[in-house]
Amino acid sequence: MLEKITRICWNSNEWKNPSGAIGKSNDQNSFEVERGYGHEEWLQDFDKLIDGFKYSFLQGLNTKNHCHQGEIYSIWLYTMQNQRKICIGKINNAECLTQVQASEAVSQYRKKSWFNEMANDLDILDINSSLIIENEALFNFNVRFKPEDFEKYARPIDITDTYRNDRYVLLNRLSDSDVLDDQDILTSDLLNIIEDSLETERDQLIKARIGQGKFRNNVANEWGGEKCAVTLIDIKEMLIASHIKSWKDCNSSSERLDGANGLLLCAHIDKLFDNHMLTFIRKRNGYYLEIQKELDLNILKRLGIDNGIELDLYHLKNDARSRFDEYMKHHNQLFLNKS
């Protein structure tokens, strides 16, 4: 069976009914901006079944010539959240509908007044529901599946770096060795955020994990501005708020959001720092850059990275400095273990 992956619109109600404009696409040409909702928002409304099947719609299957009719796929589903692609689950044995099947589903929905219920869902959100029944049956329904074939992940999976295309199209899914690894660090981070945090804190933590939001602000405040700790470059778009004690090793949300547990670094330096290929070693009362021996120092020098660069601690207050010292001990040890 062919394995595919496609985007669905964002929904905060478990895709059981529409959740409104928050989190939706900002693309003015998109269906969800034009209508205020996406047909996928009822994807898990399993109260409406026809002969045991859930009839639904995936924009990725919606082609001009309806070329997927009669095909059966396994389809992984992802949505966009905070500019990240988050895979939320998959549909096993997804049957792509024919025109006849779609028309029959529309007829059944009319007969059972289910379109009226869907319209009411939109009316509650003050969204125009007058176009809930499309002129073309395949624009209402183009896929069906058994509820037991919908597999929602307990651990949402970040696939941002694997799939570059974020349009509503059907893509061939890459192999498990390339994507959807349950041990992926960011995956478990997002799971912990979603399950363990209050809403306000959750939002802060998600943004912190992807290098923006409260954590970045905390780092900038502790260090007296936004500039790279190594190169002193102050172009904001080039800087990443990098954790010293890694996200997965932190013991609490306060550690993860602690500005003293971070450095603003240019992206290429952040990558080396995050992989413990460079660190800052304490000598006397200062901290000095040290680089793993296997790295080519001449290449690094051209990138603005030199052994012995001193970290500017001027703006770091005493209480933040003591916390920073502890975080750096942790980073230094991992650096030494890698040597």
Q: What percent of the chain stands above pLDDT 90?
A: 64
Domain end among 133, 151, 180: 180
Is pLDDT above 90 for 323?
A: yes
Mean pLDDT across 161-188: 63
Distance separating alpha carbons of residues 244 and 316, to the nearest angstrom: 15
Same domain for 40 and 172?
A: yes
pLDDT tens-digit series, residues 57-70: 999 999 888 889 99
Confidence of residue 178 (pLDDT cuts 50, 70, 90): very low
Same domain for 115 and 29?
A: yes
Domain end among 180, 209, 243: 180
Same domain for 235 and 326?
A: yes
Mean pLDDT across 127-131: 93
Distance separating alpha carbons of residues 152 and 43, to the nearest angstrom: 11
Q: Among the residues of the chain, which ranges form H helices? A: 31-35, 99-111, 114-124, 137-140, 185-196, 199-209, 214-223, 253-257, 267-274, 297-302, 318-338
pLDDT tens-digit series, residues 287-306: 999 999 999 999 999 888 99
pLDDT at 233: 93
At which residue do the structure tokens 């306060």 appear? 254
Q: Considering the domain boundaries, does residue 191 fall inside one? A: no
Same domain for 97 and 21?
A: yes
Same domain for 129 and 231?
A: no
Compare 44 and 195 and report the one with higher pLDDT.
44
Same domain for 238 and 152?
A: no
pLDDT at 94: 97
pLDDT at 186: 47
Confidence of residue 25 (pLDDT cuts 50, 70, 90): confident
CB of 180 closer than 8 Å to CB of 14: no
Domain containing 43: what range? 2-180
Q: Considering the domain boundaries, does residue 67 fall inside one? A: yes
The count of domains in the chain is 2
Mean pLDDT across 113-141: 94
Is pLDDT above 80 for 121?
A: yes
Distance separating alpha carbons of residues 290 and 305, to the nearest angstrom: 10
Q: Considering the domain boundaries, does residue 75 fall inside one? A: yes
- Residue 289 to residues 255, 286, 313, 328, Cα–Cα distance (Å): 23, 10, 13, 12
Q: Considering the domain boundaries, does residue 210 fall inside one? A: yes
pLDDT at 207: 55
Domain end among 180, 213, 232: 180
* Nearest residue to 46 via CA among 17, 9, 78: 17
Q: Considering the domain boundaries, does residue 203 fall inside one? A: yes
Mean pLDDT across 2-31: 88
Confidence of residue 172 (pLDDT cuts 50, 70, 90): confident
pLDDT at 148: 96
Q: Considering the domain boundaries, does residue 82 fall inside one? A: yes
Q: Considering the domain boundaries, does residue 190 fall inside one? A: no
pLDDT tens-digit series, residues 179-218: 433 334 444 444 444 444 444 555 555 555 555 578 889 9
Same domain for 234 and 148?
A: no
SS3 44: coil
Sign of CA pseudo-dihedral 266, 27, 165, 145: positive
Is pLDDT above 90 for 101?
A: yes
Mean pLDDT across 64-84: 91
Same domain for 82 and 40?
A: yes
Same domain for 138 and 201?
A: no
pLDDT at 204: 57
pLDDT at 183: 36
pLDDT at 196: 46
Same domain for 62 and 19?
A: yes
pLDDT tens-digit series, residues 133-155: 999 999 999 999 999 999 998 88
Q: Considering the domain boundaries, does residue 269 fall inside one? A: yes
Same domain for 163 and 253?
A: no
Is pLDDT above 90 for 284?
A: no
Is pLDDT above 70 for 4?
A: yes
Same domain for 163 and 260?
A: no
